[in-house]
Amino acid sequence: MIETDFLNRQNRLLDLVGGGVVIVPGASLVQKSHDTEFPFRQNSDFKYLTGFKEPDATLVLSKNEDGEIKRILFLQEKNPEMEMWTGIRLGSEKAPEVLPIDEAYPNHELGRRLGEILSGHQKCTFNLFNNDLRNLMAKTVKGINSRGKAKLHRPLNWQHLSPYIGKMRLQKESSEILAMKQAAKLTEVGHRAAMALANPGINEKQINELLTYLFSQENGEGAAYDSIVAGGENALILHYINNNCALNDGDLLLIDAGAQVNTYAGDVTRTFPVNGKFTSAQRDLYQIVLDAQKNAFGHMKKGVSLSDIHEHTCRSLCQSLIDAKILKGTLDENMESKSFRKYYPHGTGHWLGLDVHDQSPYLDEDLNDVLLDEGVTFTCEPGLYFPHGDRDVPKEWQGLGIRIEDDILMTNEGPENLTRAIPKEVKEVEEACQATLDTVLEKLSSKPLLA
Ligand code: GLY
Ligand code: MN
Ligand code: MN
């Protein structure tokens, strides 16, 4: 990632918000237990604009009516005593040399300098739901108001940052797509290894740990979100993250897991037999979900929305449920009543990027669906979930949960499935289940994956 990319993003954001001051704080460490913290995760917007990886920093951008731009970073000051405990800090002296900013100051100067930065500007954009920042702004603006007779504009127009930066983050740049392709590659290794390791008696926990380890290879940053490793009926819990049950012969294993690279997420689900061979009932149901996904791929093109794709996917799944005599009535009647939602309760896709559910808008200012365009990245994840005891569902399908999820990049030539190398056809999945873990891991040691 070159510095000019960050500078360009900052410039575009200042244009989008109409100038004035933009304030974007990074993340802080979050306490896990007394004297210990969770691993640090940078705020996605801050990362997008600066690339800076330390906690407790704040970016303040400003653009005045003459078009003059200032880029200021507030950050942790160097402190050898603290650095001995928690690691080296960049510090305000070095920061302008290596980061896409003009000036840098220690955090304790933020309150004082903010008043000077805001004076003369009428517009200010920040996360209006951030209470700490709101309090600081209230105090700062009060300070400007009471500053005697100086005839300076002060912010009257407060804007929420999220819709502006969300819009920018929708279409990915080439450096972002590269990170997502790398995340897809590590995600492939993880899923292949899981297929190889899974066997009756293996615990979901072992597979979860293996995924985390493999997602951390080379420049991987571990799992982008808590992996879902759900054997048997655990797959019916959509966000199952306990991952602590033994896998049973004859069950399916649903794994929803993706690697993170340079803060960009992979998000992939595969469902496969613990013993390596689908029963015919499992295979039939798996094929229904796979066909629904293929049907969805067929509708992906520039100018359609994620809602359109969801609608087509629901129709495909719904028709299959009618064919299997689980739902009664016509397709249109069932679509109208949404009867299928009992078995397919989630959406078919979401934006994907720095956040696994990327925070870009789904509706534009006129409440129209945002349409697929070159560079947008999203998931496609149909599924079916049948609880035990549902008399409308054939006995051999009760207790099954199947989801298949891939990561898609829209290009001018059509959709590109970034995660297509992860086995998915019945035969491919069964073959991948027969592979030994050693063969999968050998690939890792033979040459770098992420060239
Ligand atoms: N892994 C969360 C999701 O698929 O949306
Ligand atoms: Mn997922
Ligand atoms: Mn997803």
Q: What is the pLDDT of residues 365-413, one digit of tens each?
A: 999 999 999 999 999 999 999 999 999 999 999 999 999 999 999 999 9
Of 431, 400, 447, which is closest to residue 192 (Cα–Cα)?
431
What is the tens place of the pLDDT at every residue in 192-220? Answer: 999 999 999 999 999 999 999 999 999 99
Q: Is the pLDDT of residue 1 over 70?
A: no
Name the CA dihedral angle for 97, 98, 103, 105, rounded to a multiple of 10 degrees.
-110
* Ligand 2 geometric centre to CA of 251 (Å): 20
d(CA 126, CA 382): 36
The mean pLDDT value of the chain amounts to: 96
Q: Is the pLDDT of residue 147 over 80?
A: no
CATH class of 171-446: alpha beta
* pLDDT (mean) for 149-155: 75
Query: What are the residue ranges spanned by the domains of the chain?
Result: 3-169, 171-446
Tokens 């940078």, residue located? 42
* Ligand 2 geometric centre to CA of 121 (Å): 43
Q: State which of 237, 271, 379, 385 you would mutate to test the pocket of ligand 1, scoring each by most atoms of that ligand within 8 A of its C-beta.
A: 379
What is the tens place of the pLDDT at every residue in 27-44? Answer: 999 999 999 999 999 999
pLDDT at 149: 60
**Which residue owns the Cα nearest ligand 1 atom 3?**
267
* pLDDT (mean) for 272-286: 98
Q: How confident is residue 144, by pLDDT bands cut at 50, 70 and 90?
A: confident
Q: Is the pLDDT of residue 447 over 90?
A: no
pLDDT at 143: 83
Which residues have any ligand 1 atom within 6 Å of their CB? 225, 256, 267, 350, 356, 381, 405
Please give all residues whose CB falls under 5 A of ion ligand 3, grouped by chain where several chains appear. Answer: 267, 379
Question: Could you give the strand order of the β-sheet that contains 220-223, starting from the edge strand earlier in sequence?
Answer: 220-223, 259-261, 264-265
Catalytic residue list: 35, 239, 256, 267, 346, 350, 357, 381, 385, 403, 405
What is the tens place of the pLDDT at every residue in 77-136? Answer: 999 999 999 999 999 999 999 999 999 999 999 999 999 999 999 999 999 999 999 999
Q: What number of helices (H) and strands (E) belong to the chain?
A: 14, 19
Q: State which of 357, 359, 404 you would mutate to test the pocket of ligand 1, scoring each by most atoms of that ligand within 8 A of its C-beta.
A: 357
**DSSP assignment of 350-400, as one string?**
-B-SSSSS----SB-TTSPBPBP-TTBEEEE--EEE--TT-TTS-GGGTT-
The strand ranges marked E within 91-178 are 103-106, 123-126, 157-160
289 or 448: which leads in pLDDT: 289
What is the tens place of the pLDDT at every residue in 303-316? Answer: 999 999 999 999 99
What are residue 396's phi and psi, to 5 degrees?
-75, -10
Q: Is the pLDDT of residue 451 over 70?
A: no
Residue 78's Cβ-side half-sphere holds a number of Cα atoms within 13 Å equal to 9
Q: Evaluate if pTM is beyond 0.85.
A: yes
Q: Is the pLDDT of residue 2 over 90?
A: no
Q: Is the pLDDT of residue 191 over 60?
A: yes
Domain 3-169 falls under CATH 3.30.70.600: no
pLDDT at 448: 79
pLDDT at 433: 98
pLDDT at 404: 99
For helices 204-214 and 174-197, the axis angle rounded to 10 degrees is 150
* pLDDT (mean) for 301-328: 98
d(CA 236, CA 440): 29
* Ligand 3 geometric centre to CA of 289 (Å): 15
* pLDDT (mean) for 15-20: 98
**Tokens encoding 362:** 């789904």
What is the tens place of the pLDDT at every residue in 226-257? Answer: 999 999 999 999 999 999 999 999 999 999 99
